[in-house]
Structures are given as structure tokens and as C-alpha cells.
Amino acid sequence: MDAAGATNLTWVCTLMGTTYRGNHGGADAWLPAPNSYDLVGSDGYNRWPIISKPAWRSFAELFTGAHQKSVELNKGLFVGEFGCIEQTEGYAAGDPMAKANWFQGAADTVRAWGNVEALCYSHTEATFGGQAMPYWIDSSESSLASFSDVGRSNYFLTAL
């Protein structure tokens, strides 16, 4: 890209969220030289209850490792993929407000961290381990309302 004269690029080095949490040898085993990229990137998904382990995890639990690495490297954080399943998906005892609250918690975390450059929610049904993972934003009225409220907040309209 440099040879082609492209000057308006932002380079992102993206690793799986589990790698920032120590799996696969940890992030340091995979990250290139810090001067070769601009942002630390990560993905993370809350797959509970369809996948029973690990248990339900907050946005902060999913991305704290990547956030810590971005702070250590003095770089912004790019959340290239994230998603959450309704707690009631195939589990009647789940909290029907959990996903809506999860979106609010994600917004609170991003605001508190202050170095998140961009977020990309995976509004889709994906497959993991042969199981369908319905990450739809509108999987319930409360989830859609919560996601919409977050997106309309002044912080997300102007900061990102």
C-alpha cells in the first residue's frame, strides 16, 4: 500500500479475543512490531447459554485483555466483531433482559475505556461448533430498544 502511494490507511492487527486472554500462546506471540500497525483489534462473543462454557460474560470480560494490550502499546482499540445471544435462547430460566443490559454494559465499558476507535456488531446468525448462534440485534424488543438507545447516545454519535 505504501508503494502504491496510499496515505489514508489505518492498519489494524486483529487477534481473537481468547488470544488476548492467554490462549494460543498469548497476544505477544502473535503481534507484529508495534510500529507496523495503528490499532489493536479483537473479536469476542457471548455464546452462553447455547455454548455452556464459559458462562455468561460481559463485554468487559470479553475485551479487557485486548484493552489492556492496547493501553500497554499506547494504541486505540478496534472491536472488529462482537455479539451476544439472548440468555433465554434454548434456556427458559434465562433472564429476558440480560442481552438488553449487556448492550448497556458494553456502552458503559467503551465510554469508561475511552480508547475504543470503532465497534462492529455481528448482526447475524453464525455457526460455532456446529451450533447456530443467533446474534441478531432484534432478537427481542428489549434488546433492539437497548441497542438503539446506545447508538443514539451523544457519545456514540460523536465520539466514534
DSSP string, the chain: -TTTT--S---EEEEEHHHHTTGGG-GGGT---GGG-SEEEEEEEE-TTTS-SS----HHHHHHHHHHHHHHTT-EEEEEEEEE--TTTT-TTS-TTHHHHHHHHHHHHHHHH--EEEEEE--SEEEETTEEEE--TTSSHHHHHHHHHHHHSHHHHHT-
Q: For 102-137, how does the pLDDT look when each residue is reduced to its tens digit (9 = 90+)? A: 999 999 999 999 999 999 999 999 999 999 999 999
Mean of per-residue pLDDT scores for the chain: 94
Domains of the chain by residue range: 35-155
pLDDT at 159 over 70: no
Residue 158, pLDDT score: 77
Q: For 43-63, how does the pLDDT look when each residue is reduced to its tens digit (9 = 90+)? A: 999 999 999 899 999 999 999
Residue 92, pLDDT score: 79
Instruction: Please answer whether residues 97 and 137 qualify as being in contact, where contact means their C-beta atoms are separated by less than 8 angstroms.
Output: no
Residue 81: pLDDT band by 50, 70, 90 thresholds? Answer: very high
Percent of the chain with pLDDT over 90: 87
Residue 160, pLDDT score: 52
User: Which CATH number describes the domain made up of 35-155?
Assistant: 3.20.20.80
Residue 49, pLDDT score: 93
Residue 1: pLDDT band by 50, 70, 90 thresholds? Answer: confident
Q: For 2-33, how does the pLDDT look when each residue is reduced to its tens digit (9 = 90+)? A: 789 998 899 999 999 999 999 999 999 999 99
